[in-house]
A and B are shown apart, each in its own frame.
Chain A
Amino acid sequence: MSGVLDAMASVIARDLRIAMRRRADVMTSLIFFVIVVSLFPLGIGADPVLLRTLGPGVVWVAALLACMLALARLFANDHADGTLEQMVLAPQPLSMLVLAKTAAHWLTTGLPLVIIAPLLGLQFNLDAEALLILLASLLLGTPTLSLIGGIGAALTLGLRGGGALLALLVLPLYIPVLIFGAGAVEATAAALGAGAHLSILGALLLGTLVFAPWATALALRIAIE
């Protein structure tokens, strides 16, 4: 068991160290997120009621797209330089190593979005409670996006024009997360309480946590053949 944890820790340490040395990659999706979210108030105008209605949905859709932007390189570099082969041949179960890779991916792409989202929410005139729920829903939802995205990234690995195919594969699967994520914030604004929405987001996270690494590992084995 400690062997598995040690191997997972080595994968996370490696990916975080690489991210630190390639900050441009991390910044791209974060800046993309900030710009897309900021375009809406500029395009829609300064009507506070309208902005408050649209806010949660806009932030969530932008988070979805920003997550997707970073997905293509989740396994591509490892595939090109042979480290993926070494991962597959490690004595530890591949699905656990995939889980570690996804965790590192979330830490470098999902978590920055979660942290900056409340600041962007201010542009939409969201109040403190709504911002808090926005933060909570993103915190529960973005790991699910990374996990589901991993399956798509593994399935499209090594394909020409895989980027567009990846979007077509993954975006439909993101819909439940989007509905309950944005819904949580809207429910708070309507004074209904976000408990139910957040519970469902949590359940989605637990479900994908079990299922996605296994499916991703299966797809990776096919991709490297």
Chain B
Amino acid sequence: MLSAIGLECVRGERRLFAGLGFAMRPGTLLAVRGANGSGKTSLLRILCGLLAPAAGTLTWNNAAISEVSEEYRASLAYLGHLNGLKDELNAAENLQLSLRLAGIAVNEAEALAALEWSGLRERRHQPCATLSQGQRRRVALARLKLSQSRSLWILDEPFIALDTAAVERTRDLIVTHLAGGGMVALTTHQDVPIAAPMTLLIELGA
């Protein structure tokens, strides 16, 4: 369970939000909305531990995340604005090496199935530099598909650059994760309805 009490974020001179609190239990979808620059990405980065909040505390299973940081990171999958792919490596290599870095063991067949799922099976030996923006996003999503053992997913604009079919697939992936007792925090500007056992909505800049 992830809970936040009194989170405050200051970027530069501006205070983006303050006094933000919520609790995410298994099956919770946390949808963060707001205009550009309202602090959506900052909030997600705070949740990951990439950014320290100006005030407030974040706890994971009732322990401050700074104290259980390795355990917390082992329960976390993050998809940011940047896909985290190396241009010089192909899709299959990127997928395999990033999962190994994250400590997620997958075999060749599972990796291939994930690439098939994201529609990149035929292009898996092509350097990522030659893939389109949407295809790169799909490689990053294939990593997410294989991160189902991670209970908390933090997704920053997961549907960006994707075509309709890929948006559908990704949505189904998120719904399955939530139905299986996972937690998802996401931001999106697209109107993609996601069915979840429990939904929390945070409107920033309101």
Which residues of B (1-54) have their CB < 8 Å from a CB of A?
48-52
Identify the B interface with A (CB < 8 A): 48-52, 70-71, 73-74, 76, 78, 80-89, 93, 97-98, 100-103, 127
The residues of A that contact B85 with a CB separation of less than 8 Å are 81-83
Question: How far apart are B127's CB and chain A's nearest CB, in angstroms?
Answer: 8
Interface membership of A158, Cβ < 8 A: no
Known contacts A82-B82, A82-B83, A91-B103; is-contact A17 B50 (Cβ 8 Å)? no
Question: Apart from A21-B89, A21-B127, what are 8 other A-B pairs with CB-CB below 8 Å?
Answer: A3-B103, A6-B100, A10-B97, A22-B88, A81-B86, A82-B80, A86-B98, A86-B102
Interface membership of A73, Cβ < 8 A: no
User: Contact string, A1-12, partner B, CB cutoff 8 A, digits 1/0?
Assistant: 001001101110
Q: How large is the interface on A (under 10, 10 to 19, 20 to 34, 35 or more residues)?
A: 20 to 34
How far, in angstroms, from A191 to B76 measured CA to CA in the complex?
A: 60
* Interface majority SS (helix, strand, loop, mixed), chain A: helix
Question: How far apart are B180's CB and chain A's nearest CB, in angstroms?
Answer: 21
Report whether A89 and B97 are in contact in the complex, using a CB–CB cutoff of 8 Å. Answer: no
Look across to chain A and name the residue whose beta carbon is closest to the beta carbon of B87: A81
The residues of B that contact A82 with a CB separation of less than 8 Å are 80-85
Interface membership of A107, Cβ < 8 A: no
Report whether B102 and A91 are in contact in the complex, using a CB–CB cutoff of 8 Å. Answer: yes
Report whether A90 and B88 are in contact in the complex, using a CB–CB cutoff of 8 Å. Answer: no
How far, in angstroms, from A154 to B193 measured CA to CA in the complex?
A: 41
* Interface majority SS (helix, strand, loop, mixed), chain B: loop
Could you pull out 25 A-B pairs where Cβ atoms are within 8 angstroms? Answer: A3-B103, A10-B101, A11-B101, A14-B89, A14-B97, A17-B93, A18-B89, A21-B88, A81-B82, A81-B84, A82-B80, A83-B84, A83-B86, A83-B98, A85-B50, A86-B78, A86-B101, A90-B103, A91-B70, A91-B71, A91-B73, A91-B102, A93-B70, A97-B101, A225-B50
Interface membership of A87, Cβ < 8 A: yes
The residues of B that contact A83 with a CB separation of less than 8 Å are 84-86, 98
Question: How far apart are B176's CB and chain A's nearest CB, in angstroms?
Answer: 23
Partner of B97, one of A13, A85, A97: A13
Question: How far apart are B51's CB and chain A's nearest CB, in angstroms?
Answer: 5
Known contacts A82-B82, A82-B84, A88-B50; is-contact A17 B89 (Cβ 8 Å)? yes
Known contacts A81-B83, A82-B80, A82-B81; is-contact A17 B101 (Cβ 8 Å)? no
Look across to chain B and name the residue whose beta carbon is closest to the beta carbon of A91: B74
Question: How far apart are A58's CB and chain B's nearest CB, in angstroms?
Answer: 34
The residues of B that contact A97 with a CB separation of less than 8 Å are 101
Question: How far apart are B111's CB and chain A's nearest CB, in angstroms?
Answer: 14
The residues of B that contact A88 with a CB separation of less than 8 Å are 50
Known contacts A6-B100, A10-B97, A82-B82; is-contact A89 B88 (Cβ 8 Å)? no
